[in-house]
Structure 1
Amino acid sequence: MIATGGPGSRISCALASVLAAMLAVGVSLTVLAKREAPPAGAQQPYVEEIQLARKELFQGQLVYTDARSLELVAGAEPSPFQVQVLGSWRSAGPGEAESPVSAGGQIGVKLHCSGAGVRCEALSSERQNVLSKSDSATWMWDVGAARAGKVSIALTVTAYLGDSDTVLIEKPPVTARVEVAPPPGDTGWTSRAKDAWHWVTGTATSLGGLAMSVSAITALVVMVVRRRAPAADTDTDTDTEDRTRDAVRDEPRG
């Protein structure tokens, strides 16, 4: 007969089995973690590229039209709004304001307008190059308003990584609120009436296919009135003829 081991031997075998199972689980978890985790330093080339590009930027100058100098009048010709980004510095002229800005790459400038039916029409490309201290770029807009009231104007300037959409740095918006004056002589009830008319026409336009325009409604009312008037006259003539026939019929005959 082959003698079996004692209790100590059985305990040793059990411990060895447990250790082997734990080792297998540990190996499996390590392999799984390596599969799920992204490669170390995967973002590093991108981070280094952004940091290097930012270091190549330098401080330039932003010169722009002071919104308070626009002197907007409701319904009048639009006023020009100009922005310049320069690699070097110059003195701001009358009606201009200035502040520092990052330059040394492709620069994007946007003008955001809201309130009082204001319209800001861009007359130049949104993005232009200001690559060196001798470079400069100019942006132009036509700014006009349809009615009197308050207008908000915000200017944003952004430096991009090359010609991509990656933002290197963006200057906090330069904001201003200005008053749009009513047209000369347009005060009192006439101004309020025009504002009401603009509201009515704007509402009809915004409804689109769900409602007719104000002019169409007016034309329809006039057409109905004109059609009803002849019909009423015809009814009157018919009643007169009927009464005449009845009177002749009732006359005594000789």
Structure 2
Amino acid sequence: MNKTAFITGSTSGIGKATAEILAKNNYKLILCGRREDRLAELASSLSKLTDVHTLQFDVRDKDAVKAAINSLPEAFSTIDILINNAGNAHGLDPIQTGDVDDWDAMIDINVKGLLYVSKAIIPQMIERKSGHIINIGSTAAKEVYPNGNVYCASKHAVDALNQGMRIDLNPFGIRVGAIHPGMVETEFSEVRFKGDKSRAENVYKGFAVLQPEDIADIIHFVVSRPYHVNIADLIVMSTAQASSTIVNKSI
């Protein structure tokens, strides 16, 4: 295969599972994240299968993003696939009592972080007239649920940016698409509930919830399609989930 995939938020959840499946299918990997220990552990494991390079930075820091990408060695300098996976939810409060710091974190990571990373990588794709960008959104990009206000707004922005990227980059033959998962059993809810594990675990109890590997398998399918095929927008939920707030826990 010899294609190189750049994955943000690669140290856990969907990002980690995606790195694992792509490594098994001979993609070279650039693994990005904030947690250096987790990056090192994952790189050690996957380097048995493929060539791996790690970049430790926070997507919210535009200077760090640029410096990290500019530091890539020659062997990893051509990025064929960008997977904008880094994202977060903080808090689950009505708009009138929301925490401004939570709002900043969601907008800075989910929206601005995606833009900073994309801005640093898109020019080389334009120069080659080749590349594939996958933006990881959410069902929250398609609907708004009670107390989801700013998180939903940030993911609606990802949806809009995905569409805008696809239009703007069309003249250069760059494929752009988004995958919008519903509930996936990751660290997502633990982060949202400020480390309250019992509350986070209750989100996923009582039904067969999506696993990170389910989304990673779809990402692999998307990036491995023939060049003339672009999966532009894809919503994925478990069978038990009908919407952000309707889940059949009898299944």
Same fold (TM over 0.5): no
Where relative contact order (Cα < 8 A, 6+ residues apart) is larger, the structure is: 2
* Structure-2-length-normalised TM-score: 0.22
Higher strand proportion: 1
Larger radius of gyration: 1
